[in-house]
Amino acid sequence: MGVSGYGIHMGEMLFIKGTDVHWGDTVNTSSKLGQDLAKDGDLLVMPIIHEKSKNSRYYPYLDFEERMLKRSKVDFKCYCVTMEPLPILAPNIAFSYEKHHVAILVSDLSGFTSTTRKWGIVHMASIIVRMRQLCLPCLTRRGAIYITTEADNFICIFADTV
């Protein structure tokens, strides 16, 4: 079974160091949001996360779409984290790169996992959005003929190898 999406909640929980014990409504709710209710990679957050994030200067590029969901006779008011789509250049490349000399740039943010653990996924998502907004115009000006992104990665192709 693959991941349907992600759920985030905040609150008290029982955690016993050195064991796999991490119980409580916070864990149950975020699990239900991510595994049972989210679809196609959605990031669903509970109202407490929405309230703490919606006007934060750290997350200015994220939008929150209110949703009412039901699972096991329990109603959930939650928010789906969204953002404006970022441009992908030349999605349908008309020629094969095998016969051309091209330069390929692959970038990856350093410390993704540790930063996410320390500051949370909403913080990390805002960093990724900001990175894309800063880098896309620069890469375009430098002659990128194809740019795609996946999570915290950029893959760019330049027609010139110099």
Overall domain count for the chain: 2
Q: What is the CATH number of the domain that holds 48?
A: 3.30.70.1230
Domain that includes residue 151, residue range: 97-158
The whole-number average pLDDT for the span 28-50 is 82
pLDDT at residue 127 above 70? Answer: yes
Shared domain for 44 and 21, answered yes or no, is yes
Give the pLDDT confidence of 43-93 residue by residue, as tens digits.
888 898 888 888 876 666 678 889 887 777 778 799 988 765 545 544 444
Q: Are 81 and 122 in contact (CB under 8 A)?
A: yes
CA 112 vs. chain centroid, Å, equals 11
pLDDT at 92: 44
- Where residue 157 falls (left for φ over 0; alpha for ψ -120 to 50; beta otherwise) is beta
Q: Tokens for 132, please give them.
A: 């894309």
Shared domain for 76 and 112, answered yes or no, is no
Give the pLDDT confidence of 147-160 residue by residue, as tens digits.
777 777 778 887 76
User: Which of 38, 39, 62, 42 shows the shortest CA–CA distance to 129?
Assistant: 62
pLDDT band at 97; cut points 50, 70, 90: low
Q: What is the pTM of this model?
A: 0.49
